[in-house]
């Protein structure tokens, strides 16, 4: 068993060091692009092989030949027999939450973005310098003693339509070098969830203006033989963000003009081929949140969580080209992947950890239970009534 554990730890280190932007640099918690390749030594390089056939088939043959992790590698790293660690040890979960909440000590580098005396975002002082040339769009208010420096919009931009159009021109002018990954998808800009929208902003630009963004994430699960399983997706390698990483069965941002529930139904159809007759049974179960600072980007995200119990016979099928494949994995094994590796898209870990709490996989007897529970909502979830 000791040799087997050493072999596992070697693979873990390969996975760990293959994603340096995740774990080596505190300011790069949410890189715009991430490679998911890692090296795994071949069968001959293991000093001792407790099970040469399974070792070479599940790890070496797949990962070494392509340089990219496969479902075999996921299954191997999730197996309770792979390493005799303690499932009640919550440290692996805490690590994933920290990845989504870095840079708190850099908040002083941001100034409030204010519309009609309401703070709608935060803009990095360096990024603000790029905005000064757009004098017809922005006004820079100095520190007057009672209130600090702020950025607001030109008083001539009075309607949501005028503001949306002007900000769209700014984003287009700044281009991909400053704001990569433009999707032509608009997010509503509000002071809090449920408040009226002051204007709409390109989704890729939201973190550069520190806009609070919302999304929907769904845990699709199956019960069979007295055990629960989660459908897990593997993102397309063509994705601009987190290519090839593990993901939820269904997840997506919340664009302008659509309610959470309806957006979930839409995403279910596009991402997993789940018909409305099934997806309409998805249950809203709460929200998680995080705040992450990465250079000019200040992500203030709230993810609305849904659970959907699926028929055993259902097989997901991606319709929009954003998911490479799906696999049904026991929930306990999914928990191991999160605790042991960095193969999931970071914010998905928060939603799955929340699922583990609600379905009784993380128990109050675990040391750090309440701290972990509280850390799932490290971001601002406040809401004002319109």
The 10s digit of each residue's pLDDT in 225-280 is: 999 999 999 999 988 788 999 999 999 999 878 999 999 999 999 999 999 999 99
**Residue 309 bridge partners (DSSP):** 221
**What confidence tens digit (pLDDT) does each residue in 13-49 have?**
444 444 333 333 333 334 433 333 333 323 222 223 3
**What confidence tens digit (pLDDT) does each residue in 65-124 have?**
333 899 999 999 999 988 888 999 999 999 999 999 999 999 999 999 999 999 999 999
40 burial via Cβ count (<10 Å: 0-12, 13-18, 19+): buried
Given a contact cutoff of 8 angstroms between Cβ atoms, the answer to whether 73 and 66 are in contact is no
Is the domain covering 107-209 a CATH 3.30.750.160 domain?
yes
| Average of per-residue pLDDT across 140-144 | 89
Name every residue whose Cβ is closer than 8 Å to that of residue 59 and which is 6 or more positions away in sequence: 11, 40, 72, 73, 76
Closest CA to 325 of 273, 279, 282: 273
127 burial via Cβ count (<10 Å: 0-12, 13-18, 19+): buried
Give the chain's length.
Answer: 386
**Average model confidence (pLDDT) across the chain:** 83
Whether the pLDDT of residue 175 is over 60: the answer is yes
Angle at 95 between CA 90 and CA 99, to 5 degrees: 150
CA 35 to chain centre: 15
Whether the pLDDT of residue 4 is over 60: the answer is no
Given a contact cutoff of 8 angstroms between Cβ atoms, the answer to whether 379 and 97 are in contact is no
Given a contact cutoff of 8 angstroms between Cβ atoms, the answer to whether 327 and 237 are in contact is no
pLDDT tier for residue 55 given thresholds of 50, 70 and 90: very low
Closest CA to 86 of 5, 151, 19: 5
- How many CA within 13 A on the CB side of residue 265? 10
Q: What is the CATH number of domain 75-100+214-288+296-376?
A: 3.90.79.10
The DSSP-derived string for 42-105 is -GGG-S--SSHHHHIIIIIIIIIHHSB--HHHHHHHH-TTTS---TT--HHHHHHHHHTS--GG
> What residue spans in the chain does CATH classification 3.30.750.160 cover?
107-209
| Average of per-residue pLDDT across 289-317 | 96
> What residue spans in the chain does CATH classification 3.90.79.10 cover?
75-100+214-288+296-376
Given a contact cutoff of 8 angstroms between Cβ atoms, the answer to whether 10 and 17 are in contact is no
């Amino acid at each position: 068993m000791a040799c087997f554990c050493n072999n596992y730890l070697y693979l873990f280190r390969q996975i760990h060091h293959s994603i340096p932007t995740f774990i080596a640099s505190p300011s790069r918690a949410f890189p715009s692009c991430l490679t998911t390749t890692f090296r795994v030594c071949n069968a001959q390089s293991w000093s001792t092989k407790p099970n040469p056939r399974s070792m070479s088939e599940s790890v070496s043959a797949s990962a070494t030949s392509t340089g990219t992790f496969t479902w075999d590698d996921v299954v191997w790293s999730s197996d309770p027999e792979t390493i005799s660690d303690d499932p009640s040890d919550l440290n692996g979960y805490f690590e994933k939450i920290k990845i989504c909440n870095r840079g708190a000590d850099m908040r002083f580098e941001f100034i409030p973005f204010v519309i009609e005396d309401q703070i709608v975002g935060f803009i990095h002082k360096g990024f603000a310098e790029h905005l000064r040339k757009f004098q017809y769009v922005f006004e820079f208010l100095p520190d007057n003693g009672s209130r600090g420096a702020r950025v607001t919009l030109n008083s001539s931009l009075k309607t949501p339509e005028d503001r949306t159009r002007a900000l769209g021109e700014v984003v287009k002018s700044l281009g991909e070098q400053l704001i990569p990954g433009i999707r032509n998808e608009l997010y509503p800009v509000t002071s809090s969830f449920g408040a009226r929208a002051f204007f709409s902003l390109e989704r890729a630009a939201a973190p550069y203006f520190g806009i609070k963004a919302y999304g929907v994430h769904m845990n699709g699960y199956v019960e069979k033989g007295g055990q629960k399983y989660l459908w897990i997706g593997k993102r397309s390698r063509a994705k601009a963000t987190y290519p090839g990483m593990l993901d939820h069965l269904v997840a997506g941002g919340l664009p302008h003009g659509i309610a959470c529930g309806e957006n979930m139904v839409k995403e279910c159809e596009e991402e997993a081929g789940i018909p409305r007759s099934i997806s309409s049974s998805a249950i809203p179960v709460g929200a998680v949140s995080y705040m992450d600072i990465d250079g000019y980007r200040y992500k203030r995200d709230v993810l609305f969580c849904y659970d959907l119990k699926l028929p055993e016979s259902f097989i997901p099928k991606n319709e929009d080209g954003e998911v490479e494949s799906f696999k049904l994995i026991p929930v306990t094994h999914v928990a191991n992947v999160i605790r042991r590796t960095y193969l999931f898209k970071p914010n998905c870990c928060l939603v799955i950890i929340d699922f583990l709490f609600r379905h009784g996989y993380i128990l109050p007897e675990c040391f750090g239970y309440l701290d972990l529970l509280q850390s799932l909502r490290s971001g601002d979830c406040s809401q004002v009534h319109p």
